[in-house]
Amino acid sequence: MSSGRKLTDVLVESALIVFGILLGLYFQSLADKREVEAKKEIALSRVIKEISHNKDVVAEAVQNHELIIRRLSHSDSIQAYLSKKPFDIRRVLGAQPIYKVYPRATSWNAANASGIVAEFDFTHLELLTDNYSLQQNVIDQVSAVADIILNSSTQDPQATMNGLLMNMQELAGREKLLVMNYEQILRLITTDTKNN
């Protein structure tokens, strides 16, 4: 065999090896993209379920909190609560906790920790980030209300009732905004998912 033939055979074999490697990389890339897409879909579906659950939790809480606000807004009922000794602001709550179950962020936090949120549509990512920020604002306001309730025995009853009314109104306002935000996200992401 001539040296030209050997060189040609080596070049052909090298080209086949390079082609095989590139083909393998291409198929690996496709498999990786499918795997990332599957993880993204799972994460997004879990976040959507979490948001749907949270919407129900917060919507129920809004109804209870509006009832408390109505009680606190009527001077007759305020006087009835103030006249009972010892003063216990928890009577206004009707033996209900502020939240039976708090809105969750488990799926959202897991998606962030795994880094899969980087694969989410940017518009969805903005909405979801804003949503969980609003949700945290609601939880922070619940803490403010809880502080008023827990410190009520050492405070002036009338001032405590006024502070509770103001903070419950703020809480209900934040909750209503959050419920509207949940609904917007559910509509948008569900529509976008069906269209893709």
Q: Supply the pTM of this predicted model.
A: 0.79
φ, ψ for residue 152 (rounded to 5)? Answer: -65, -30
Tokens standing for 160? 């405590």
pLDDT per residue over 84-104, tens digit each? 676 667 777 777 788 889 999
pLDDT digits (tens, 9 = 90+) for 40-91: 999 999 999 999 999 999 999 999 999 889 888 876 666 666 666 766 677 7
Report the distance separating Cα 116 and Cα 119, nearest Å: 6
> Is the Cβ–Cβ distance between 56 and 101 less than 8 Å?
no
Token pair of 170 as six digits = 């703020």
Three-state secondary structure call for residue 1: coil
